[in-house]
Amino acid sequence: MNGAVVVYIVYVVLAVALISWLGVVLQRDGRVFLDDVFAQQPNLADAVSKMLVTGFLVFTLGYALLLLRIDATATALEALRSSVQQFGLLLLSLGAMHSLNMLILLQVRRRVTAARAEAQSRTVRRKALER
């Protein structure tokens, strides 16, 4: 078997394993965050969690496969070097996407928290006026 084919297989197996593991971790740990953001709507938190993980898996698996480009005439060492660089780019991209997602979710959480605080403040003012 050509060295490039072996590297392709190893890359795909590692990418699928890493992305699958990250999807599980993000869904498990992100669930607490989404439960807080959507405290009044637990079904919505569950749906958003599933949609985020599905989008993450589809996007990152597609991106990982698009990154994989190895010259068929490359030696095993050249193919491995290229694969490691592409895997590194994949990891950097995943980190950047995760950071962007966290920033977006933090903005959503701030808005929800502000809306809750405002609603609570209105309730307190209303009760004070009723006295």
pLDDT in tens, 31-51: 888 888 787 888 888 888 888
Answer yes or no: is 80 within a domain: yes
123 lies in a domain?
A: no
Asked if the structure places residue 109 within a domain, the reply is no
The answer to whether residue 19 is domain-embedded is yes
27 pLDDT exceeds 80?
yes
Q: Is 121 within the bounds of a domain?
A: no
Q: How many domains does the chain have?
A: 1
Residue 62 lies in a domain: yes
| Residue span of the structural domain in which 40 resides | 3-95
- The answer to whether position 49 is within a domain reads yes
Asked if the structure places residue 118 within a domain, the reply is no
Top mean-pLDDT range of 50-64, 75-89, 101-115: 50-64
Q: How confident is the model at residue 2 (pLDDT cuts 50, 70, 90)?
A: low
Q: How far apart are CA 56 and CA 113, in angstroms?
A: 26
Find, among 48, 7, 10, 49, the residue nearest to 28 by Cα: 49
pLDDT at 92: 92
